[in-house]
Structure 1
Amino acid sequence: MSEDILEPDLPIIDPHHHLWDLRPVLGAFPEPRHDFLETLAGAAQYTFDQLQADARCGHNVIATVFMECGAFYDNSRGDDLKVVGEVEFVNGVAAQGASGLYGDYRPCAAIVGHADLTLGARAGEVLDALQAASPRFVGIRHAAAWDADPEVLGPPFHAPEGLYRDATFREGFAELGKRGLTFDAWVLEPQLGDVLELARAFPDQPIVLDHCGTPLGIASYRGQLEANFSRWRSAIQAIAECENVTIKLGGLAMAFCQLPDQGPAAGRGSEELAGLWKPYIDTCIEAFGPGRAMFESNYPVDRWGASYPVLWNAFKRLAAGASDADKRALFAGTAAQVYGLERLLVQA
């Protein structure tokens, strides 16, 4: 769907996107594939060129933050350190953008990698290697998404139940603070209590809650979004009381949420999407405030429900009543502060 770009001069730092080549992997999954895998099949290869084409669609995307996704691990380094390969790969992409050949746009200006925090204190060695791999490396994500219904997540995800409560994980988690690194948390709505406990246990550790806490409308949760909304809202409000937590406003176009309930590339307009997402986005902004909330594309995963330009138009519709200062925070300022990109915002 083609739309005119709303507020084309508003600076955007997209704080959450991926780069990958999943073509060798997707063929291993049997038919019928999980809805999430159908999304990935439509973006089996998402490269610098494709990211640039999306980011240059008419919105004023000045920079992006890469989010770990298991891309281009270096298996020659062994299981613990193979994750360094992803950061090295993305640093090369960032160097392309920093060359200036593509204008002022700075893709992957910050890099969030992965380290296995269940290594306990030994995770510190991995974090040191990641920091050495790129000056753009700012933190990690160790996803903990799990549900008792295996059909919710499907075969790509294998996080153990209660990962963020595990003592050895927390020993590894403590290594982040020693190095001034951020932590992105991805869980599903029924697990939000685990993020709350983690944030309370480490009040000085910056934590970013991804994807509005991922409300579920898939598998055994189909048709339950409205019934579970109050539970989700209460959890979000409780987490927002932890001042070390910020939230990413997005991810609602993932297949897991079923907002919309058809995809991939559902072709819905930004006005319709904004209507679907408004109760969640409004709740998050009210709870966290613009200074601790940031819009995210989660691309190409959110291609399930929206094209890149339509996605950002929907966010702009949702923020239409905000002040100029609040818009600047929601679309760029909070991301710049969390991921150390203030220098780019000053130049915008």
Structure 2
Amino acid sequence: MDYVPKSIGDPIRNEDAKELSKSETKYIGIDLGTTYSCVAVLENDQLVSIPCDNGQTTIPSIVGYCEDAILVGSIAASVGIQSENMLHDSKRLIGWEFLYDLPNANPELWSFKVDTKDNSAGYILNKRQENEKFVKPEEVSAEILKILKTTAETYLKKEVAAVITVPAQFSDKQRDATKRAADLAGLKLIHILEEPIASALAYNQKMELEENSKLLIVDFGGGTLDITIIETIDRFLKVKALTGDQHLGGQDIDDRIMKYVISEHLKKSPGHNFRDPRTLRLLRTACRKRKEALANTNSVNIMVKLVNCIKN
């Protein structure tokens, strides 16, 4: 294929892409995910994932707000920040005006507080305290982007500009909010690219698709599901069909497991409640780990130390 599209119907010639690669600015790709994020660069026609979190190629999409610092990734989850100030799921909230518009949302299972302000769903830090603060989802995403930008520039020893991927069904408001996150992070944004298109481009980089090839791409992520059929027509990648669910991903499976565990516990201890943020965070972590363990075993036990599990 002689052409590589930036997005549907927006082509870049391969020779143009080669000229870009010679510039002083390095071009990176960022997967700003619901549960994990990562950054990569094309070097010598090979995709290289840049280590960004203790040598790992992915970083948890978690941002912790301390009194005097903002922590991102695994360190945020390990330093004992108040659970309600440990924010995640910004990709699910970003671009939504009202909480009740969120499909399949389970706020009762979130360890953080949420509300709506200035036509934006968002987070409440230090609720009902003097230092209460409203944080928009794009502000949380911006903190993740800052880390990925700094990591990439340190690794490449050059300034970077980025393509950020988003679910194919993201609305214009969600895309605009993602652009604002890049601005807040001081990151030069080249393009917002649909995740299935990014997958097809990466596949074509390795396999060199033939004309009239058809691809079925299933992207089942932490928070979204995209199912896309892509065809190569006249040296372009064209989306022929698209479906999916913006609120169906690994997190939703975690939610189902959490609800099951809570319901089973309440059968034995009906007077308990699960309102404590730390308990919810510990339970979510345990459910996720046991879910992943089921890849190698037929059954697991879930045991969590309850915190402030007071009687109703």
Question: Taking CA–CA contacts closer than 8 Å with sequence separation of 6 or more, which of the two structures ends up with the larger relative contact order?
Answer: 1
Q: Which has the larger radius of gyration?
A: 2
Q: TM-score, length-normalised on structure 1?
A: 0.26
Q: TM-score, length-normalised on structure 2?
A: 0.28
